Amino acid sequence: MPDGHAVDMLARLRGFTLDAGRNPAQIGIDARVERRYGERERWPELIARWRDLRATDMVICTRGLGLSGAERITAIEELHRELVG
């Protein structure tokens, strides 16, 4: 979950990037959303928080939800429709 620690770590990473003479916008940030961060219904909020921190990639982990393979695909498709439309 993007808490204060994550915010601080990203700020440090962006500072190191600048110190190295690189553009922080060119450094990808992989974020992860999974059960330990809350129920699936909360994931859009978590994803929005990562977007606010300029995450460039999102890993959606469905393990631990007790879903079959087909249910996992459906859950990801539903989340995609909710986020993208």
pLDDT at 70: 94
Domain-wise residue ranges, the chain: 26-84
Alpha carbon distance 7, 54 (integer Å): 11
pLDDT at 38: 73
- pLDDT tens digits for range 18-71: 999 999 999 999 988 877 777 778 888 888 888 899 999 988 888 888 889 999
pLDDT at 48: 87
Alpha carbon distance 71, 3 (integer Å): 29
Whether residue 79 is predicted with pLDDT greater than 90 in this model: the reply is no
Is the pTM higher than 0.75? The answer reads no
